[in-house]
Structure 1
Amino acid sequence: MTLHLVKLCVGVDSVEDLQAWIDFSRDEAREAGREWERIHVTRMVPSRREEILDGGSLYWVIKGQVQVRSPLTDIRPFTDASGVKRCELVMEPLLVRTETQPRRPFQGWRYLKPEDAPRDAHTVSDAPDMPAEMRRQLAELGLL
């Protein structure tokens, strides 16, 4: 059974902001002649790796709302130079907008069952040209 992760997207104000950061990271690696993968490093290693890699995604909470997901392709545990165990969450270089879903702040990541995950957004109201602040306000009012 597929399982997802959900994580706060700290320091990002919108989906467009996250996309800009991804683009910057990719361009910087290319300019330096390095291969680029979309990776997020986290401290804890998910113990349910096989379920997550069976079609799971990392759902990003931006400004208190799940707004977008990134399909996961690998989970790589490693030990950093200081001897601390960490994990690379490897994602497709793709952001998939989701229906908004409110989330309270939390630390780290959490497992997310498929039945609790927001659906991918396919409505006119979730159009990419709608300002993020308007989208957030409409979601708070229960209109998205």
Structure 2
Amino acid sequence: MASTTGQAPTTTEVPGPGRRRLVLLGGLAVVLLVGGLWWAKYGPYSGKVPAVLGSHDLGDSIVTGGGEAAPAVSLAAGWDFTVAYTAAIWKALVVGLVLAAAVQVLLPATWLRRVLGSSDAGTARGGLRGDWPRCPR
């Protein structure tokens, strides 16, 4: 039956999280992002940059080590590179996993589906938004 008062019918909605909770969760996300990036990326490099600027030498390569050329292609060389690379980036990997988990927990799935969509086009939109600073519009 239509409403005779000219107002939209009232629906019963489940109230969303309170403003205080949103502020706390947003603050936690910022702390995770800034603190994690500092711990994984900027902190370690803040000590290395002055030395590189002074010597103009980046140090040994992960691929060649102290040698002149890369090792021959083999399973052992691939494994050695994997171990060396993981040792070099493990902090960034941990921060990325924690931030991904935080996004999954803190952002409602319905909002993500609405913004990104649930089809292949939504996947493409999400990928383009992830590369937003360099992506032409």
TM-score by length of 1: 0.24
* Larger Rg over CA atoms: 2
The answer to which structure, 1 or 2, has the higher relative contact order (CA under 8 A, 6+ apart) is 1
TM-score by length of 2: 0.25
Going by fraction, where is strand more abundant, 1 or 2? 1
Going by fraction, where is helix more abundant, 1 or 2? 2
